Structure formats: C-alpha cells, structure tokens
Amino acid sequence: MNIIRNPEKSTWSGLLERPRLNHSTLEEQVQKIIDDVALNGDAAVSKYTREFDHYDAANLEVTAEEIQAAKGNVSKELRRAIEEAHWNIQTFHKKQMHTYETIVTTAGVRCWQKPVPMSSVGLYIPGGSAPLLSTVLMLGIPAKIAGCKDVILCSPPDSSGQVSSSILYIANLLGIDRVFRVGGVQAIAAMAHGTESIPAVNKIFGPGNQYVTMAKQLVSRETVAIDMPAGPSELAVVADSNANPAFIASDLLSQAEHGPDSQVLLLTDSDAMIDRVKIELEKQLKELPRKEIASKALDNSKMILLGGQQEIMEMVNAYAPEHLIIVTANYADLAEQVLNAGSVFLGDYTPESAGDYASGTNHTLPTNGWAHSYSGINMDSFYKKITFQEISRYGLVNIGDAIMTMAEAEELQAHSNAVSIRLRSTEND
Amino acid sequence: MNIIRNPEKSTWSGLLERPRLNHSTLEEQVQKIIDDVALNGDAAVSKYTREFDHYDAANLEVTAEEIQAAKGNVSKELRRAIEEAHWNIQTFHKKQMHTYETIVTTAGVRCWQKPVPMSSVGLYIPGGSAPLLSTVLMLGIPAKIAGCKDVILCSPPDSSGQVSSSILYIANLLGIDRVFRVGGVQAIAAMAHGTESIPAVNKIFGPGNQYVTMAKQLVSRETVAIDMPAGPSELAVVADSNANPAFIASDLLSQAEHGPDSQVLLLTDSDAMIDRVKIELEKQLKELPRKEIASKALDNSKMILLGGQQEIMEMVNAYAPEHLIIVTANYADLAEQVLNAGSVFLGDYTPESAGDYASGTNHTLPTNGWAHSYSGINMDSFYKKITFQEISRYGLVNIGDAIMTMAEAEELQAHSNAVSIRLRSTEND
C-alpha cells in the first residue's frame, strides 16, 4: 500500500481519483450482441451461449426437476447460514415498506403518492467457480417483499448446462418464478428486449463483469431501467490510535481479494497505526488463497495520515466510499458526519463482510464515487411512486386563477382553457 | 386524431409504440461540446453562449442586483399565483419527508437506513419566449425542503444577457443559492464537470430540448446523476359515456400544445364519446394560439374504442402514460387498478394543468414508457439512503458462522477471516 502523510488539500482530488475506464471499443462489441438478441431472440441467445459458455442449450429455462435436485447439493450448514441471512435481510427490508396518506394541499384539493411495485424485474447473478449466492438473497428478498409480479433470474450455465445449485436453491426458497441458464451480454439483452423464452422486464438488477456492465448501461438508454452504475468495489477505513490493527488488516484484505481493481483506503490520525496495519497486512496476506489478486489491489491502495478527525471525515465525504468502516472511540459521533457513503460499519465487531452476507443491510451499493448521488439497493429500488390528485368543483374554483395565470405566463393557452372551460360550466349550474 | 375501434390484443404493442428517436449523429456533436467545457471551463462556456445564445458574457453568474430588479418585472397577479402554487407544492412534498428507525435484525445486530440529502444539485430551466417558471418551483421546492447544501440554477440568457425575470424571482423566493446565465449543452457540461465560475454538482435536474437531453444522458455515464430519461410529453384519458366531451377535448389539447411530438390517447368504451370529443376538439382547436403545434400532435394521436373498463385499464398499464386522466363514474375503483403511470387526475374537475402548476404534486414525470420503472420527481430524488450497522461482540458470535459459511461457499476466504480473527480475540478475553 502507498503511504501518504499529511497531504495538502490541493492534492486531495488527485489522491482520491479512481481509475477511469475507457469503454469505447467494448461498446461497439456489446451493442452488436444486444442488437442480435433483439432481432433474433432465442436463436441469438443460444448462439452466444455456445460461443461463450461452451454449452449447446436445448432449453434455456431451468426445469422444476433441476431446481428440486439442487437442494441435495447444498450442505446443511450452508442451508442454515442462508436461512439466518434470509431472516435478517428480510427483517431489515420489511421495515422499509412504504405507507402513504392523502394530503389536502388546499381546500378541495386532495393529493397522494402511492408506491406501486414494478410489475417485472430481472435479476442477473454471475456464475463461475464461486457463484454469488448472497446476491440472490440481496436482490430476490426485496423484490419479493415489494410484491413484484414477475421475478426472473438469469445466471450463466457451466459447460454441462448447469446453473449453480446454491443459486437454484435460494431462487426456489424465495419463490423466484423462473430461472434461465443464460449469462453475459445475451442475458441482459434478453431481459431488456424479451425473446421467445425469456420475458422482457421493467428493471434489471445485479453485478457482472465489464461486458455485463456495459450491456446494462446500453439497454438502460432505450428500454429498461437498471439498478445503478457499476464500478470496482472499494472500502475506506477510518481508525484512531486505539483501533485493532489486525482487525483493520483483515477488513482491508477482504475488500482487496475481490479483484485487482478493488480499492482500499485507510484514513487515520495515528502514524503508529499505519505501521501496525502494514505489518498485519503482510502477515495475513501470505495465508490467503487469493493473495495474488489482493496484493495487486493493495498496490493501488493508500494509507493516509491526516491532521485530525475533522479532516478525515472531510476526506471520507469527498471520496464517497462504497463501504466505510469507522473504528474510533467516538464512532457514533463520526457516523453522524457521514454525508457520502454506501454502507457504514461501526465499531470493532462490525466487519464489512457482515454486511456482505448477514447483518441485514443490502450489499448492492454505489461504487466509483456514485455514493455522492445514489443509494444502495433498498425497497425504493423495486417501487414506482405514482401521484394522484382529486379536485372538487370548489377546489378548482379555489386554485383555478393560479393555474390560469401561470399557464398564460408560460404562453400555454390550452392549459388555461382546460380550467376556464370547467369554471364556466360551474357558473351555469 | 386516428380512431381505432376494438383492436385485437395482438396489435396493441404496435398501436402503443412511441416514436423511436435516433440520436447517433447528435451524440458526437454533443460530446464534443461537453469535452470542450470539461477541458476549457468558462472559456468554452462563453464561446458556446456567444455561438448559440448570441450573447457575449462578461460574467456568467447573475448578480444580486439583477435578482433584486427581477421582482419589479413580475406582475402582482403572477406573484400571487406563484405564492399559492408554492404553498401547495411545499405542503405535498413536506409530507414525504423521510424518517428512519433503528432495527435490531437479530440479537446484537443493529441496522438503520438514514436519508441524507445530496450535497449539491443543479437545476436546468429552459428559457425562450415562454420560460418554464413552474419548473423552478417543481425542482427548487423539494431541493430546499431536503436541505441540499448547494442548489444552483442554469438558464439561458437572451441576446442582451438577461435571464427571465419570473425565473429569477422564484429562484430568489426559494433561496436558490446561485443562478447562471448559461443554457444548452454547455450548462449541463458545466454542472457535470465544474468550471471556474460554475460548481460541479452531484445531480442535474430539469427538462430541455434534444441537445440538453442528450447531454444529460452522456454526462450521467461518467460523473453525475440525472433526474430521469426524457421524452416527449404525453397524456391518456380514460372516459365512460357520461364524461364531459368538452372537458376531455380541453385536456387533450393542453397536452397537444406542448409540441408536435406530444402524444395523446383517449381510451373509452363509448363509441358515441369518440364522436363527441372529435367535434369538441375541432371547435376548441381553432381558437388556440398554438393550433399548428397542437394539430400536428393530434395527427399522431389516437382515440381507441375498447370492449370495457378491464380492457381499458390493461391498455393503460401497457402504455404507462406520463399523465393519466380518469373521468368515469367509478374513477376511484379504476385508480386502484393503475400500475404504470406518472401522475393520475381523477374526476371531472381535475384537469392535467392543475398538476402542472398548482395542485401540489410534481410535474416532472417519466415519459416514453419509463413510468413502468421510474417515479416522477419526489423527495426521494434529492436524498441518498445510507445504511449503517453496529454489531456487538455477542452479535458477531451470533451471526459469525453464517457469514463464514457463506463467504467460504463464495470462495472468499478473507471475508471469512475478518470474522474469525475477531471471534478468536473474544475467546481470549
């Protein structure tokens, strides 16, 4: 890790800069696949599944028998862990359920804002040797609580056509309606445009590699909403001199093992802490199965010594980390000062991995500085809020002049007429 | 208007199709301006202001004196109308304020979701002969209620450098911090990237022509959030045989006058109503100052006779109109069946123009089918919801096994280690 001591404020924006990705060549390649799927449906999806997943799909949809069989491949221990995580995630997200009330904004004018679940959502779950089973929980639980009518899931097959048993097991547990053995750009394109087998959805959720990310971005321009822009995962740790360096190192490494492009930051006002964390990092890194990945991520990462907690929190808010751990004696006070972050972990016994799996909060969070303006996935992500208004005759008499005056100031006479024609009719009554 | 009677369901999707816009040439042109502003700041902004607005800007920011002088140019009648609209919009939006509570998801695990306002937002207000003063209210009021620290506004100058007085008057009334005499792509680029005069913001709101819309879309990929995708305005009216055809015609025209690409739909189970609305349309259209625009919009619009209310509501939800008026005897029942719409207007005395100006609901709404997945602007649009978690030592003992089991199933050993290292330390304690 790079160690920076007491940087001048003028250097902060350079210091906190994320790697800029250049996707221009990727874009063309991905758009071609999307257009092919939009035009040729299942035939195109099958073609790309053969090409990229080396599987010749007879049937894109996973069968009830396969889903039934999956349970047997999931250990009892893992099933118990899933059950526990399920409970906590459900508890936290259920408390976010929306209620609404009718507001009388002025005499005779009644307005309300009604949350209505999206009719159909598509969840994308990457496959590979280690399937992201926790992401099925994080996306599927709120989708089902919201009451989305159609919830479908796409995940790439292995070369024998199988989707990971743990993914199928959780999908079945949550009552996800249909699962398709389709991955990559072709999955995103199919959920955006619909094919003979795979229905088009209103919104697509889920992580993926740079191809999947680009595909989501491209389809979101035209036909379908997506959860949020995506980028490499990241963590900032705020620590004082009393924090536990071994715990901190374990958290930095848990973020670093995600990928060589992951970013971790340690912000502290204790120079000694930097040295102690450095020693712990070296010790713990050696033992990791993914030490090469983690070590690359650490090369891009920084430990920054700052003048005090005020400066530290200023830097946190300038960076807007996806994950933020605060391990200081006064962590509750500092938590109040967080303006920009995805999810925040407070105190010595709240590792980031708790939020990844089982504390109950969602792990789909804004990266790459988007925490300045985006929330992580929450119940809002699965609803639209539709406004309604009901105005009585008297109500329109009440606000009619204001409407007509403003409409005429905007030179929209027909807008004014829609009021005057009604007001005239009340006069004759 | 085109009249379609009892269309087969297989023809619906063609019938409800919106015009597809091809922006590929526009994209290059707009990106060039954005890149120039990102690189050259104020100098580039001034150059494009000279080129497009024919004004040579000495100072991009509107001065306190200009804002003070604006009030004198706004009639007392318009100021009263603005005051009334302000009150109703504020009342409705204030009721959407977020509260939160701490949830204990399981023993020793405390989670909460805290709404935090975005630090800085930029409002774009188009200019021209008829400035959209109502949009300043619709964007500025919730931004200020949310408590966004920096709220700035950009609006194009006329050739003498003036921004519309009514826009300046409302900006001052709402306490908007800074106003810039900058419009078009250069305004969006400046708010996305920041210049010497104009600060970069976290999120850009507001309507605009196709160049502004494309600019918002392009900057939203890299640096800044935007309110929602944009498209031409649209209205669907659901009417039964007892509705008032003159009122309906006035509503269809108030939508049609927005632009030649506006779309209006009348959906009814009464063939007689179609004829009666047609006659009223012809009568009212003649008198409109914007009759040429409205008449072009009507050419693309449809009156559709359907078999009954169930089929009508099915078509409404398939179309997902930005605005929906329901004028049937049982409008309250039909309102319950609305799944996809931006804002809904119920009963004979609730014209769409009421929501455009003064009922209290927001008029910035999803168009072009985006009401399937997007809400209109509401208080959520100005907040991020940040999740927090605080786990006690006992809490980590409680959920630690679940975390480690799931992390290992995902082959993320460091994630598991972050728990085990903490659990080991409790054993020695």
Question: Cβ separation of A399 and B106 shorter than 8 Å?
Answer: no
Q: Which residues of A touch B301 (CB under 8 A)?
A: none
Asked if the structure places residue B35 within a domain, the reply is yes
Q: Do B346 and A389 touch (CB under 8 A)?
A: yes
Same structural domain for residues A144 and A32? yes
Give, as one character, the DSSP assignment of residue A142: H
B342 and B400 in a single domain? The answer is no
Burial B318-356 (b: 16+ CB within 10 A, else e): bbbbbbbbbbbeebeebbeebbbbbbbbbbbbbbbbbbb
Residues A226 and A252 grouped into a single domain:
no
Determine, yes or no, domain membership for A263: yes
Q: Are residues A75 and A198 in the same domain?
A: yes
Q: Give residue B230's identity as a one-letter amino acid code.
A: A
**Which of A207, A230, A253 delimits the end of a domain?**
A230
pLDDT digits (tens, 9 = 90+) for B222-235: 879 999 988 889 99
Give a yes or no: residue A112 inside a domain: yes
How would you list the strands of the sheet with A203-205, edge to edge?
A: A178-180, A150-154, A120-124, A203-205, A225-226
Domain final residue pick, A350, A375, A409: A350
Q: Distance between CA atoms of B320 and B342, rounded to whole angstroms?
A: 8
Same domain, yes or no, for A196 and A252? Answer: no
> End of a domain among B293, B322, B350?
B350
- Asked if A214 and A297 touch (Cβ cutoff 8 Å), the reply is no
- Distance of alpha carbon B300 from alpha carbon B319, whole angstroms: 15
Q: B117 and B174 share a domain?
A: yes
Q: Answer whether residue A372 is part of any domain.
A: no
Residues A237 and A335 in one domain: yes
Task: Please check whether residues A152 and A32 belong to one and the same domain.
Answer: yes
Is residue B160's pLDDT more than 70?
yes
Q: Which of A119, A131, A372 sits opposite B339 (nearest CB)?
A: A119
Closest approach of A205 to chain B, Cα-based (Å):
12
Q: Is residue A355 part of a domain?
A: no
Q: Are residues B36 and B154 in the same domain?
A: yes
CATH at residue A55: 3.40.50.1980
Pair A221, A79 in one domain: yes
Task: Give the mean pLDDT of B205-215.
Answer: 93
Which residues from chain A sit within 8 angstroms of residue B414, using beta carbons?
A: 250, 253-254, 256-257, 284, 288, 290, 294
Q: CA–CA separation, B310 vs A232, rounded Å?
A: 47
Look up the domain containing B70 and give its range: 23-230
**pLDDT for residue A99:** 81
Q: Mind listing the pLDDT tens digit for each residue in B361-391?
A: 999 999 999 999 999 999 999 999 999 999 9
Interval B73-97: pLDDT, tens:
999 999 999 999 999 999 999 998 8
> Which residues contact residue A51 at a Cβ distance below 8 angstroms, ignoring those fewer than 6 apart?
none
**B122 domain residue, yes or no:** yes
Is residue B90 in some structural domain? yes
Chain A environment of B116 (Cβ under 8 Å) = 338-340
Domain assignment present for residue A364? The answer is no
- The per-residue pLDDT for range A132-167, each reduced to its tens digit, is 999 999 999 999 999 999 999 999 999 999 999 999
Nearest Cα neighbor of B15 from B252, B237, B417, B319 is B319
pLDDT in tens, A85-107: 999 999 999 998 878 899 999 99
Same domain, residue pair B200 and B256:
no
Indicate the number of domains in chain A. Answer: 3
State pLDDT tens for residues A179-225. 999 999 999 999 999 999 999 999 999 999 889 999 999 999 887 99
Let me know whether A57 and A167 are in one domain.
yes
Model confidence over B280-308: pLDDT tens digits? 999 999 999 999 999 999 998 999 999 99
Divide the 429 residues of chain A into consecutive groups of 10 and give the mean pLDDT of each group: 92 85 80 97 97 92 95 96 98 89 96 97 88 96 97 96 96 96 97 97 95 94 90 94 97 94 95 97 94 92 96 97 98 98 98 97 96 97 98 97 97 96 83
